[in-house]
Chain A
Amino acid sequence: MRDLSDKSAVQVEALPQTGMITLRVELTEPGLGETLARLGLSLPATREILTEGAGQIAWMSPDELMLIVPLAEVQATIDTLKDGLSDAHVLVADVSDARARFALSGPGARETLAKLCPVDLAPGHFQPGELRRTRLAQVAGAFWMTGPESFEIVSFRSVADYDERLQRDAAAMGVEGLSL
């Protein structure tokens, strides 16, 4: 059992907008790997998120990827994808404005998130490098780990206030007496 009696506060921070691009494509599409390589990215495995340079690329479904890049690079990244996959059946769209982002961190971050998401968050069962699409209480969301005790959470812009309150309330109630 992990000892959580010496818990520290869990921090919830709303993060500013970043560049996010949805790519719907057959992951076996010829030229996909090469096009991603031009962006310095590679193809993630199932439920994987790769951090490569300033960018990240995440597996979202068997035919959907998400690219995370600095806002300033969104258009260039979209152009590169469209150019490299011009003959392929793909959909590329800027979704940077559609999202709300949060950082949840601290020794009890796993337990705090486990109050909101039906996900096995025990160490060894969810690790950095994994991305999970799920729900946070009543709304859709996704998260991955940015360190051993920290998560980045994305959900939709319209429910940003709900999400933030949800996480702050969950964090405020503490994690004493919980185990994963």
Chain B
Amino acid sequence: MSFRLPKGGRLIDRSAPCRFRFNGKEMSGFQGDTLASALLAGDQMLMGRSFKYHRPRGVVARGHEEPNALVNLGSGAFFEPNQRATVTPLAEGLEAESQNHWPSLETDVGAVNGWLSRLLPAGFYYKTFIHPRPAWKHVFEPFIRQSAGLGRAPKESDGDRYEHFYRYCDVLIAGGGIAGLRAALKAGEAGSRVLLLEQSTVWGGRAVVDGARIEGRAATDWVADALARLDAMETVARHSGVMVSGVYDHGYVLAAESLSGHTPGGSTPRERLWRIRAGQIIVAAGAIERPLSFAGNDIPGVMLAGAVRDYLADFAVVPGQRVAVITNNDDAYHTALALNAAGVDVPVIVDARAELRGALVEEARGSGLRVAAGFGVAKVTGGKRVTGLALCDQTGNGTVREEIACDAVAMSGGWSPAVHLFSQAGGKLTWDADQAHFRPDPSRAPTGADGAPFVSVVGAANGYLEGSAALADAAGEPIPEPQEDPIAPVWQMPAQAPVALREKTWLDFQNDVKVSDIQLAAREGFESVEHAKRYTTLGMATDQGKLSNINGLAVLGDALGKTIPQVGTTTFRPPFVPLSMGTIAGEARGPLFQPLRKTPMDGWHEMHGAHWEPVGHWRRPYCYLRTGEDPKAAVTREVLNARENIGLLDASTLGKILVKGPDAGKFLDMLYTGRMSSLAPGRCRYGLMCSENGFLMDDGVVARIDDDTWLCHTTTGGADHIHAHMEDWLQCEWWDWKVWTLNLTEQFAQIAVVGPKARALLERLGGMDVSSDTLPFMHWTEGEIAGIPARVFRISFSGELSFEIAVPAARGLELWEKLVETGADLGAMPYGTEALHVLRAEKGFIMIGDETDGTVIPQDLGLNWAIAKKKPDYIGKAAQARAHLTAPDRWRLVGLETTDGSVLPDGAYAVAPGSNQLGQRNMIGRVTSSYYSPTLDRGIAMGLVERGPERMGESLDFPLIGGGVTKARIVSPVFYDPEGERLHA
């Protein structure tokens, strides 16, 4: 059984008990425990079921590298899956559930998968795709979805809050062990602005746990002194509980902080994402211990030797009463000695190395511990718990020499430097054959804009596993000679293990990948490490192979007859450990998910039944619902009212870009297909803008303000990108043209007053002569309306008599309310964007984004009249002469009139007989806009049809989704007032 010793545990407060629930069972631990240590203390070694075979699994590690002890935490809005129990601080009332078990952790029906494991080999998943074809959908997919997996997806939206924080420094140090502290002291003493981040809540790393002596002092004292010295430095800041998660180009670093004092749903953030820009990054992330590959190495009770030591020192928790140690290096002897000193029985230290000379070995022997040199483990026995192990010759085939009873195993396969952060931004590794690990190659570090390395690595992460060497490395001092005996690389135990053992030997605990799986992948031709990884899913679980990577590479190399450096590593990618979605989103959720742009009249719309629709980041009223109306009825009312009385449209969202300068006319002639330089001051002209490829990208009315000033209206969505487009050309191509631009979209509120009685309403408000003689169609004027300074543009997007009035934004609401009140008896009422669409479609006016989709040129839309053919050039002109764009069979704009008066589905395709080379039905056109026209009381549509305008009167077939065909006749796109008498009124 695992249990807590009566004394010790440097991180726990025995006076502060914490009650919690695991799978509904009441348990208790102490303040300072992790969930994993508290579970172990309560003899709950079994913590989860494995991904594929539902094998019972217990905790293996101490920290973020833990593959097995994943739990669902919390419930409802505070539910979170896949949380590592090893880094989850115990809190009063905590609720945790193990994952992937059914019906219960103790009795799991899915464990039958384990018996079927011969039918579920590596690549099983991919093979099910292929043969027989229907089997995937009907047999395999439902089965895999039911049985595989880890945590459940949360059902409710996250009840907690998150934030980002931008931080700058000269030197960022990732890791607060002794190497990180030493590097921070050095950088701080040099006067650098230092940010030191430690992922755990305690400083000093392994040195403190192992009770090392540093520079003649106890590690705890050395660490306390280092922290005091750092805190005395003005330019140094240090934070614990902040995990450096990713290193990116240009010294950009992401780090995630879990806020310790947080209560679920509280006002403070649960997690914080640090977005750091660092001049130099020093990685002092330590090393991660590797498991050994022997049969039964995943049975609960088998743990990493370093972790066993951690649990003992940090929490006074031991995994068993008889703990066997299995190793290929000296480090695990620390564990044996610590257990022995704590009074825990260590029946054997199994050491794969045949010759042992080191001081630690002698110390162990001197303490009366049995060291079995040159031995391996044939298998560990047990089901839900270790019951013993079988010794064999390491060099042999697993013939059992002796069986030893134990209830826990501490294993060490050596240590791998935590090179992740170094590698993420492009740092390359070198294989250190003596220490049997990859370590950073300083000559191939990630480089910055200046070509110089911006990431360096110190301490254990740099391959200096012993404390004194790590410290010297961080200080930039000569590295002392190693004190420990060299490791013996052991990638399989025993060396000649038969398949019966290899298929019980786990590499990747989290994704259930065994030694035999990697060997199968190699036999099936997956020789590249990247392919073998994907085929077997080795290292693809949430732990990203922190424990399994090197062992997997070694097994693959062995199967292929290659060395580990020949096999190479897979790519390390951020994040180091998974980040929660909330942390990534930061403040951008709920009402702050996206900025919502509001016009000055937004509040009025809200109060008057606005039924909103998003247009870019703006929200605009789609229509204004009156009591008892649905949107369709409201739109019908609004359209008819604008045709018969007065419609008011909030057009403030339209882009308004001021263009000024001696070369402004020349500039606009290049930007628009039409000629703007010849426009007289006081006049307006409709303009089209094309991309360099000739495709129509925006349209709008341009007004000439004075000799060298034009005001360009853009679409709502186009304002920002058209302004950027202008500046791009001015700054990059025509940098010597004297033109200034300014985006004044937000400066003005703009209101369209539309309908036969519009003039009467403006005359009532007074202040400006808006008669047809003074202000004809496509003119503008300036003055005051109702005492408000205003520009009035006589332009129309509805086909009716129409004035667009621009006033300073702060007075927009005032004008709007006056128009509504004063025009009440004239029938003035607002209309929304849907009525706007219907009104323009009735007139055959195109809409950017409906009639255009990035592949349409003005000529397709019959807009040749808006192209100044005599102009030598404009953006898009050359492209529009290309063969494809001048082809006679291009799809061109027409009106479509259903023979039965119904409304064509938007986007419907017109079909022709026969099929194309892909066997698809030939298509000759599509609907681009389609509405019910209240004015005509029938469906109207516009569409792009092959040779459309040449086929007036022809009837086209539009098949409907769900069957049937609607027939529509090709007609002029102008359905209403084709002579334009009304807008000229």
- Residue pair A177, B259 in contact (C-beta under 8 Å): yes
Contact of B595 among A63, A114, A122, A138 (CB under 8 A): A138
Given contacts A89-B661, A91-B658, A158-B597, whether A174 and B239 have CB atoms under 8 Å apart is no
Q: Is B269 an interface residue (CB 8 A)?
A: yes
- Residue pair A137, B588 in contact (C-beta under 8 Å): yes
Within 8 A of B (CB), among A121-167: 121-122, 125, 137-139, 156-162, 165-166
- Residue pair A17, B587 in contact (C-beta under 8 Å): no
- Cβ of B93 to closest chain A Cβ, rounded Å: 23
Chain B residues contacting A172 (CB-CB under 8 Å) are 267
Given contacts A95-B747, A115-B587, A119-B166, whether A173 and B275 have CB atoms under 8 Å apart is no
Most chain A CB atoms below 10 A, which of B594, B661, B810: B810
Would you list 8 pairs from A and B whose C-beta atoms are within 8 A, ordered by A residue?
Answer: A1-B237, A114-B165, A115-B166, A138-B588, A157-B600, A159-B598, A173-B267, A179-B239
Q: Is A97 an interface residue (CB 8 A)?
A: yes
Given contacts A98-B809, A118-B275, A161-B598, whether A177 and B163 have CB atoms under 8 Å apart is no
- Residue pair B747, A94 in contact (C-beta under 8 Å): yes
Q: Is B695 an interface residue (CB 8 A)?
A: no
Chain B residues contacting A45 (CB-CB under 8 Å) are none
Interface residues in chain B, defined as those with a beta carbon under 8 Å from any beta carbon in chain A: 161, 163-168, 193, 195, 231, 236-239, 257, 259, 267-269, 275, 277, 586-588, 591-592, 594-600, 618, 658, 660-662, 738, 740-742, 744-748, 808-810
A24 to B, closest residue via Cβ: B740
- Residue pair A114, B166 in contact (C-beta under 8 Å): yes
Inter-chain CA distance A139–B588, complex, in Å, is 12
- Residue pair A97, B810 in contact (C-beta under 8 Å): yes
- Residue pair A178, B747 in contact (C-beta under 8 Å): no
Inter-chain CA distance A117–B599, complex, in Å, is 25
Inter-chain CA distance A153–B194, complex, in Å, is 29
Interface residues in chain A, defined as those with a beta carbon under 8 Å from any beta carbon in chain B: 1, 17, 22, 24, 63, 89-91, 93-99, 111, 114-122, 125, 137-139, 156-162, 165-166, 169-170, 172-174, 176-180
Contact of B599 among A63, A121, A158, A169 (CB under 8 A): A158
Inter-chain CA distance A119–B277, complex, in Å, is 10
Inter-chain CA distance A173–B272, complex, in Å, is 11
Chain B residues contacting A180 (CB-CB under 8 Å) are 167
Inter-chain CA distance A165–B163, complex, in Å, is 14
- Residue pair B740, A90 in contact (C-beta under 8 Å): yes
Contact of A93 among B239, B267, B744 (CB under 8 A): B744
- Residue pair B746, A158 in contact (C-beta under 8 Å): yes
Chain B residues contacting A24 (CB-CB under 8 Å) are 740, 742
Inter-chain CA distance A115–B662, complex, in Å, is 44
Inter-chain CA distance A119–B744, complex, in Å, is 26
Inter-chain CA distance A78–B489, complex, in Å, is 80
- Residue pair A97, B809 in contact (C-beta under 8 Å): yes
Given contacts A115-B163, A138-B588, A158-B599, whether A173 and B237 have CB atoms under 8 Å apart is no
- Cβ of A17 to closest chain B Cβ, rounded Å: 6
Chain A residues contacting B257 (CB-CB under 8 Å) are 177
Inter-chain CA distance A125–B268, complex, in Å, is 27
- Residue pair A173, B269 in contact (C-beta under 8 Å): yes
* With A97-B808, A138-B588 already in contact, 17 other A-B pairs whose C-beta atoms are closer than 8 Å: A1-B236, A24-B742, A99-B746, A115-B163, A115-B165, A115-B587, A119-B166, A157-B809, A158-B746, A159-B595, A161-B598, A165-B591, A165-B592, A169-B161, A169-B592, A172-B267, A173-B267
- Residue pair A169, B167 in contact (C-beta under 8 Å): no
- Cβ of B267 to closest chain A Cβ, rounded Å: 6
- Cβ of B170 to closest chain A Cβ, rounded Å: 11
Given contacts A89-B662, A174-B268, A179-B239, whether A166 and B746 have CB atoms under 8 Å apart is no
Given contacts A24-B740, A137-B592, whether A169 and B166 have CB atoms under 8 Å apart is no
Inter-chain CA distance A149–B715, complex, in Å, is 41
Chain A residues contacting B237 (CB-CB under 8 Å) are 1, 179
- Residue pair A91, B268 in contact (C-beta under 8 Å): no
B658 to A, closest residue via Cβ: A93
Chain A residues contacting B164 (CB-CB under 8 Å) are 115-116
Chain A residues contacting B658 (CB-CB under 8 Å) are 91, 93
- Residue pair B596, A161 in contact (C-beta under 8 Å): yes
Inter-chain CA distance A157–B741, complex, in Å, is 20
- Residue pair A17, B810 in contact (C-beta under 8 Å): yes
Given contacts A114-B166, A166-B592, whether A97 and B236 have CB atoms under 8 Å apart is no
- Residue pair A177, B239 in contact (C-beta under 8 Å): yes
Inter-chain CA distance A115–B164, complex, in Å, is 5
B275 to A, closest residue via Cβ: A118
Most chain B CB atoms below 10 A, which of A96, A170, A176: A170
Inter-chain CA distance A84–B598, complex, in Å, is 37
- Cβ of B240 to closest chain A Cβ, rounded Å: 10
- Residue pair B587, A166 in contact (C-beta under 8 Å): yes
Inter-chain CA distance A119–B168, complex, in Å, is 8
Inter-chain CA distance A43–B193, complex, in Å, is 33
- Cβ of A61 to closest chain B Cβ, rounded Å: 10
Inter-chain CA distance A159–B742, complex, in Å, is 19
B731 to A, closest residue via Cβ: A63
- Residue pair A98, B740 in contact (C-beta under 8 Å): no
B810 to A, closest residue via Cβ: A97
- Residue pair B742, A93 in contact (C-beta under 8 Å): yes
